[in-house]
Structure 1
Amino acid sequence: MPPRATSPRTTPSRDRGSATVWAAFAAVALLAVTAFLLDVGGAVLARHRAEASADLAALAAAGDPVQGEEVACAAAHRVTDGTGAELTRCTLDGWHALVELQVRRPWALLAPPAATGRAHAGPVPDGATDPPTADPAEPVPTRSVPEPPGTIR
């Protein structure tokens, strides 16, 4: 009896199931990239929250420096409690308040678990000027703003 010819469909293949393995690797890679992006996004969000909280706390501390550092730092502490930050340093140097704080993240993979914010507030020193915005000899450019539809002149 002659040997039976096998069709390409029924030939056993060594590649059988390899698509499943590749799909599993792709799913794990996608999950890792997603976790990394969430971690970085959480770190950026914590940094922004720390900076905003520090700005608010410094303004609160500099709001009434006449009563002393203890009262000024108590005001900064109330602000940081309200924003969920932890006040790590508060000093009052004359009329200037310096505040440092930390905002902790609930979880962190690669980035640090806490973001630090620093800010100072106080009066502008004498002789300080705003940076020049334009040459006074040059005309100021103007923009024409289109009128809304239906405007009657």
Structure 2
Amino acid sequence: MSDIEIRRATGDDLPAIVAMLADDLLGATRESPDDLTPYRAAYEAIAADPQQHLIVAVRAGRTVGTLQLTVIPGLSRRGATRSIIEGVRVHTDERGSGLGTQLIAWAVAESRALGCQLVQLTSDATRIDAHRFYERLGFAASHLGFKLQL
């Protein structure tokens, strides 16, 4: 997939990113691609934080994938730094092309380069296909997650 460029997202990528976030059953209920105002504020905060890496995959000038990598220093695991992969999305037209694998490989390599000892991610309990995908890439379902809506 040498025709894919993986780079930091810019504000110009927001419409495509938000459209991908909204392009499934879960995302359709929680995203609002018609109003980018809250996403622009979030993007500015992400762009200003050196521990945040919002990236896009671009093919032929078109944004076709995205993810966010967050680096977190910690005390547990003997002071290990970890990264968290969030918001992995691949455009509908690109699913099954290997792009998701390429995005995760980028995130793992970048995590290593940034000195992380652990890469983790969460996936909604209903995303069974995503769970199989992550397991194929070597991730283990090791924890039970909890959320509190504020």
TM class, shorter-length: under 0.3
Larger radius of gyration: 1
- TM-score, normalised relative to structure 1: 0.25
- TM-score, normalised relative to structure 2: 0.26
Structure having greater relative contact order (Cα 8 Å, sep ≥ 6)? 1
- Which one has a larger percent strand, Structure 1 or Structure 2? 2
